[in-house]
Structure 1
Amino acid sequence: MDQYIRIGESTVIESLRRFVTAVVDVFGEKYLRSPNENDTSRLLAIRQRRGFPGMLGSLDCMHWRWKNCPNPWHGQYTKHEHEPTIILEVVASHDLWIWHAFFGLLGSHNDINVLHRSHLFARLAEGDALEVNFIVNGNNYTMGYYLVDGIYPQWVTFVKTITNPQGNKKKYFVKAQEAVRKDVERAFGVLEAQFAIVRGPARMWDKATLRKIMTACVIMHNMIVEDERSEDEDEDVHYEGVGQLVRPTPPEVRNRTREFHEFLQAHHNITNRQIHAQLQQDLIEHLWQHYSDMYQY
């Protein structure tokens, strides 16, 4: 850079820091927002059409290699990649919009460790998230779910694939689940293709700057998705019958003495393995009965 445009390295680095800080401060509220009521209704309608009523998105993690990780931190940031990495957890939709991004945990963590530290289900456990009511195979459910791979726990909010499926119904479910879950893998690929700074190893020394760089890239990724989205893309999507959204009770009218009990009960409902198994079985039957011609063997 110094040879061609007469800008020194320190000036370039400082300009980068100021740029990503400005992007996060100005555009973060709009392009890193959680889905509102209209967003959720639209996404539920599209996902019901794809065979998964009640689905809120696809969840997964990626590792960003940290080339200039300080030597004393190498051990805690290194896992199976055999070099330091920092983890990004995202939820992506079919159009590759990233609705949730949590970045900064040590590369030695696995996806479950990241999940327990992210804020993805904090609003749901605290009673501040929209309640998604939907019906699958004749059974009622009150929580939306995410498509994930096999490492995630058996929670009501997750629908996982099946290892070594037996029978045509389960094999078909695995094929459909993995086909739709690739939305998040595609989002990672597009993010890396658009921004060379994410595709290559991180070269900064402090984590705060790396966090702002990754956050700014996610924001600009969503800007590009919005700009390239067709205005009539979802004109044929019908919002009726996709499930009911219930607003949480406003904090000012809640019984404060019961908040802790409600939090524990909400957490228990999220981690209920019995309902997780029932939801998976209902989706297997639902896909087999109504969408068997969508995914070909």
Structure 2
Amino acid sequence: MEADGQSSRRRGNSQRRKFIRRDHVQGHECIFRDYFAENPVYPSNLFRRRFRMSRPLFLPILNEVESYNLYFVQRRDNAGRLGLSCMQKITAVLRMLAYGVTGDFMDEYIRIGKSTVMKSLKKFTETVVTVFSEEYLRSPTAKDIGRLLAVGEQRGFPGMLGSIDCMHWK
């Protein structure tokens, strides 16, 4: 390893990837201070806008995902340094989904590399489907369909069942 904290790793015969020593603890502290502290920097309306959900919804999802999948549990590496927190991994994933940005967009603020974001995205979606599918990812009942169609009509979209994919229901 070079003195500046960077080294090269070989991938295949010719590709090289730079190792960047990110301060994972600083990234976690920044997210925590900005959104999750007792008196966060950003108020709840900005949390909702940036995460596309409320903080009281985010935290139970975080806790369920972390308790179900060990990948999201913060651990120390062989040198004793703390790795990424569950909050960093899930924040990166949700921001990526909410804004439709690439994995490397998260690096400067959250301190997480593209490959880790992509792995987190895969593990998060698998975990969410496993943990929440029975209750939240089920097929709609006749009552659900009626309620969703009424809401759509009230908002000026008659015949639309939800707004994610603009699916119409007959």
Question: Structure 1 length normalisation: TM-score?
Answer: 0.18
Q: Which has the higher strand share?
A: 1
Q: Which has the higher helix share?
A: 2
Question: Structure 2 length normalisation: TM-score?
Answer: 0.26
RCO (CA 8 Å, sep 6+): is it higher in 1 or 2? 1
**Structure of larger gyration radius:** 1
